[in-house]
Homo-oligomer: A and B are copies of this chain.
Amino acid sequence: MSAPPGGPRRRLDEDRRRAQIITAAVEVLDEVGYGAATLTRIADCAAVSKGLIWHYFTGKDDLMTAVAESTLTTLTDGIADGLDRTAPVPDVLRSALRGAADLSRTHRKELNALYRIVHNLHGPDGTPKMTLAFYETTYQAQENLFRRGQVEGSLRDFDTRVMAVTYQGAVDMMLGYLNEHPETEPRAYADALADLLLNGIERS
9-residue interface stretch from A47-55, A64-72, A173-181: A173-181
9-residue interface stretch from A78-86, A102-110, A187-195: A187-195
Category for how many chain A residues contact B: 35 or more
In the complex, the answer to whether B196 meets A163 with C-beta atoms within 8 Å is yes
Complex alpha-carbon distance, A127 and B163, angstroms: 31
Q: How many copies does the complex hold?
A: 2
Determine the chain B residues whose CB is within 8 A of the CB of A119 once the complex forms.
Answer: 119-120
Complex alpha-carbon distance, A131 and B166, angstroms: 20
Complex alpha-carbon distance, A176 and B136, angstroms: 13
| A172 closest partner in B (C-beta) | B169
Give the interface SS of chain A, mostly helix, strand, loop or mixed: helix
A170 part of interface (Cβ distance < 8 Å): yes
Closest 10 CB pairs of A and B: A200-B200, A169-B173, A33-B126, A169-B169, A32-B126, A119-B119, A159-B192, A199-B200, A162-B192, A33-B122
19 contacts between A and B (CB under 8 A): A33-B128, A34-B120, A35-B35, A35-B122, A119-B120, A120-B120, A131-B176, A158-B195, A162-B196, A165-B173, A165-B177, A166-B170, A166-B174, A166-B196, A168-B173, A169-B170, A170-B170, A197-B200, A199-B199
